[in-house]
Structure 1
């Protein structure tokens, strides 16, 4: 995928200090242009539709309209902006809902500045980003108890995958990016992207956390 010459970014958070900090962190990157900000979801919709950014950093808990409702309404309006949810996670148990509303990335608010910049770049290029710590905790929230029927359903889906696709699905479930999977499995990046696309299609999912949930639900292969 061709690189973007400049990533247009909108920052949404009800805390003015957080917005300023993110603006300083991201505005300092030569290839990221902070084109707008908003203090709540309602204003975020207006700013995003007006500025047409590539990426939006979206807080969840805000007055007037929260980030989940704003994400849903932006997708209903057909925005092409890719939304990264900002969360403290210890209190934001609505993160799973954000996946269904169309978020493509998750960042903890205490993420290192360099990692925030890297995440925005990856998402701008079309690659969802989930840190390993967030992936693990999302799975824990979503799969506190796996019953037999869920395990059977997950194993039926996982059985559709080739051996290589299973390796890729496992790596996805561990929170690895496409580049990290390529390095781990000694594959080309384009090959990994093809395998990830095939995994999504065969498991009938739309994001990486759903892949992780099926891998978790299926558990180890019988006899392994």
Structure 2
């Protein structure tokens, strides 16, 4: 057996579920370019994913949660039933307590937010396959708060003052952040200068009292400014 054949055989067979096409293509590209990964499928719907889980041997499921025809947790549960030795990792913008705990209880052993850099995703996959549970810091905080019994008053309640303070353009940028788009992709989609994107993002961080993308999306979702 050649070294190339050994590498191919040892590659992690990964099934990807993501309904947003640009995000799906971005994640698929990360996996394809990673020597340790073998992308066996990239699905945009829960139905396609369920069929793939039933038909294709996989080592790792990477899934979004909110899908056009269902929820990623359903795919995780089927994976546990059909392929119990496989791992499951969530890559989502959703970070509320109920969603995070529900995914983990269903069998997810990793949970990243969509603003993770390519190297972070690859490292997370490697950690998960090594028996660890990679999670974003915001998700860790959610779990600690939930397990500590400290529910945040007003979680998921709209904050009219904050909503009013965000301009229409900032709301557009906020949605782009939630979808995991890069500065360049946001500029292209919104037909604005690439240099103005970080200016808008800085204002969003200030108004939401956030320090990074993950915290901004989490705060926006918690305050009811965006529904994901």
With the length of structure 2 as denominator, give the TM-score of the two structures. Answer: 0.57
Displacement of 1:84: 0.2
Conserved in 1, the CA contact under 8 Å of 2:46 and 2:67? yes
Partner of 2:143: 138
Distance of 2:135 and 2:112 partners within structure 1: 7
Partner of 2:51: 46
Matches within 5 A, 1:39-118: 39-90=44-95, 93-118=98-123
Unaligned runs of 5+ in 2: 1-6, 152-228
Conserved in 2, the CA contact under 8 Å of 1:71 and 1:102? yes
Displacement of 1:80: 2.4
Kindly tell me: are residues 125 and 51 of structure 1, through their superposed partners in 2, closer, same or farther at Cα, counting changes over 3 Å?
farther
Stretches of 4+ aligned residues off by more than 6 angstroms:
none
Partner of 1:187: none
For each residue in 1:68-102, what CA deviation from the matched residue of structure 2 results, as whole angstroms up to 9, or x when unmatched?
A: 12211221234422110112134674110111111
Unaligned runs of 5+ in 1: 147-224
For each residue in 1:144-169, what CA deviation from the matched residue of structure 2 results, as whole angstroms up to 9, or x when unmatched?
A: 439xxxxxxxxxxxxxxxxxxxxxxx
Distance of 1:132 and 1:90 partners within structure 2: 11
Distance of 1:67 and 1:50 partners within structure 2: 18
Displacement of 1:141: 4.0
With the length of structure 1 as denominator, give the TM-score of the two structures. Answer: 0.58
Structure 1 residue aligned with 2:36, among 4, 10, 31? 31
Distance of 1:14 and 1:95 partners within structure 2: 19
Displacement of 1:59: 0.6
Kindly tell me: are residues 18 and 92 of structure 1, through their superposed partners in 2, closer, same or farther at Cα, counting changes over 3 Å?
farther
Conserved in 2, the CA contact under 8 Å of 1:40 and 1:66? no
Matches within 5 A, 1:142-181: 142-145=147-150
27-36 or 127-136, larger mean C-alpha shift: 127-136
Q: What is the Cα-based RMSD across aligned positions, in Å?
A: 2.3
Displacement of 1:15: 0.8
Give SS of 1:129's match: coil
Give SS of 1:95's match: helix
